[in-house]
Amino acid sequence: MIVITSDMANFKDILNHILGAVFIVIIFALAYAYLKPHRLHKRRLVSTLLLKVSYMVYLSVLLIIVYLASLVKGGLGTVFHGVEFFAFLIVLFAPNIGIFARKLGPFSKKRENYNYFFTVVNLISMLAILVMYFV
């Protein structure tokens, strides 16, 4: 018979926090490898830099909020409930779609405007996540 003591339960919590932190580092490293923020376009230097930096900041805020909501406050469903959960899904997917769709053909001629637009989307999404979490 296996008896679970409070030390064992504490170990599970610590392990979950460690795995959550490792998950954040892995996702952030994959995003950095995909975006290559150190490589910028010569003609669209400012807009590319703003887009990549704003996305990386958005991603770090998103990952930390998801980590805190999941492991500290009892889950995403309890932190973001009702309409807030659907708003959270929108701000979860909109910047990611924007960063992946930037190299598609229809956007290549208006890429600078596209970069500025999705920089604003990233900033608004980041602010929305912070407001929904802390309010």
SS3 115: helix
Mean pLDDT for all residues in the chain: 89
Greatest alpha-carbon span in the chain = 68
d(CA 47, CA 70): 34
Q: What is the mean pLDDT of residues 42-47?
A: 87
Question: For 58-117, how does the pLDDT look when each residue is reduced to its tens digit (9 = 90+)?
Answer: 999 999 999 999 988 888 888 998 999 999 999 999 999 999 888 787 777 788 899 999
Paired tokens of 21: 């932190």
DSSP string, 97-123: HHHHHTTSGGGSTTHHHHHHHHHHHHH
Question: For 95-110, how does the pLDDT look when each residue is reduced to its tens digit (9 = 90+)?
Answer: 999 998 887 877 777 8
